[in-house]
Structure 1
């Protein structure tokens, strides 16, 4: 049976936002009624059928606490949640002292936690009133929810379990009734496996709510421990006296398993399952710290396969991928279990030789690798030969930081290429060509803006329901007078390290807005233009002023501009991120989380942010076509989460028809990638947009 909620507000936007959130609640919709003023609300509460009230404190016929007190008197025991605007939280807090159950802030009404919190309050009120004894209606409600509910008397003895609690604990209600809560709910510390106090005991002693620690385990009767999350709260009679406690908990095994899988995929290469550069850097930092404490040494080997591009281009990506997998297997066999073999991307690998490894050890390992890779690889009827060039750096001789060691090993690898390939070279101080190139790139970047050497390319994003272009992502290209077209991966890192990314990013935003305005004035179909924003740009003190000025000068419609930020950028300072994003949203811009799943973030924090779009990182999309188990699990999970949060989901890097088919089957909203189109110039994209407009 659904719950009926009375929304007391004259704000139409608030009403629609709340009704939308409640209509699509994950555990079933709420039925909503509206009252535009206090008088109508009081009149409605005179009739039965309302389970909870959401109340704006500023109504046309009454405002503030006086308004709340009158409605509270008319509501009787019906729970009330007050709605408030940022800056008026103190008044909302005061309503709690006058009898409100909770309060909600504008701007977060669409969050999926709103119906969850409302359902919890209604259920808790039902328990407090003893309706599970007096009415069949509350009994059905408690037994239909997925969460387990257990209540106790003042002695901490169980007096109620719903069906979910019976299943999870292994206790039938009649068996558990009258037994101590600690006997029915045996809870362990997930790390030590030792028993911990039941939270109900704290509630009864302190008359205060409490949540269980994140790594708690429930030991069911005759079963294996189950990871749970829960909250416990006091039950009061109508005079405010505590008469017992209620505990609500749920099995989070699937959440933990999904988190572990997502973290593994975020830290491992999808093709070879080797650690990726993120996990490698973490292990190098740990190895350096250990070596620094004990006066030890370690070695890094940077490998690049010789002429791999020829094999990839001539025999196809499928054969090239299998060759990389075969190489990865042989590399792992050449080192100790304490060492780390990592794929950096493409045909590049980095090996960390830890535990006090010297130059002699590195040379022996390099010789072993050259011999192992010299043997032919038999793949799909082809006998392939893949040699490698190896550069070696030693800690602490060649650097005392992670990036320095990797850079110097990379530099030595290029010298191995110059020495004829299929050999290894140790880093020497005179190998400074990479450093010289970096300085050259930086100095050239400083002149690039003045000389108007930058250009934006645009990659279409396709609506998977209609097949039409739904938007484009603006991608930066650099036309160097001597080097030709320079790809971003060659200069973006230098731009970020030098701080030049801020003026370059401002140019990108201005150029994208100018182009969006031109498309609009040309009468083309509306579409969003997405622009990537780096950490330095987003955190720059003049970021918002720059966006506002560019919008004003360009005349672009803010609703057609989408700002893309990575998880790691948003998580550096959640409070600041929230403030900035709310301002951008107020102006009409859309917010997208780029490369979703590759960073480490709390989903609870992400839920607080006003996000419109989740972009699934291409590594997860590529995994769809691999032979790995549950290769589409993460993609499916992100799509499902996006739909629950009313966010559009865009899949990046779609290259294979089978990837597209999977995404369509999962009802993914949009996709981009070489399967549809590479990034092209605005002139090349114009006819495509024109055809769409004409169609």
Structure 2
């Protein structure tokens, strides 16, 4: 009986589903690893922009204190806007109901790449309590306090300088305060960067370990599944060999000559009766075309049946006729026989043919 695709698909799925599950798990872990490392890398890049903005703000604010130039103040405002934007993004994510839209706007204004923003928000929301990231955010929060102090100082300086000239002592006090704030914020910025670096290395090690574990699981599953399939195959082979032996014993014990061919029309098997009938041993006949072993000729018309095997392999059975035929052997001798033939089907496909001959010599002698 032919197996349909509907029958074969569940069997195939039953064999391969463990591999599919582990491969999908491996792919999921690998994708999560890449996404997490990409998000951490984005924070490292964002910290670089934050530090650059903070340093430029200190630098231009110091120049503004000494010159009162609006150009320097404008540069200072542009520089400090970067850490202030990152601060607004952090505050939006720390709310009881995180405002991801405000956070996205803040990170974009903080000069983070648009493709990195989604990962940065995801990492903050899902790993906020993770030790390394938590330490980095605490340093970030402390540094933002200094950023606000710098902003307040810059606004106060701008307001004072807008009213007119200021004394040298006041300018010196501003510069001293700028230096103090810079001295306090620099270690916080470094600690923030170091925490991100440690966290990145730890996450990389953790995710590498997870990938190795899933890979080892896949190998173990493949070994287990392969051993199971080999055991099943061995059991099937033993059962098939036993069935073949029983079939050969059965064929050897019956009184008719039985031969079988492959799909190419060459002899594959014949029992002992067929060896005697054809006057040819199986070892010499195996693999030979049927036409080489015998010819069938109608006794009355002397017409040779040249398409016998062709019709059987096409799926057309041959029923025994009441009138015997003459089987002509390779040595030229003939034997009257009654022939029955049928195509050999496996899963609905013709894989060969089976022919059964009954020696009619005794019957013909009786008739004579």
TM-score above 0.5: no
The structure with more helix, counted as a fraction of residues: 2
User: Higher Cα Rg: structure 1 or 2?
Assistant: 2
The structure with more strand, counted as a fraction of residues: 1
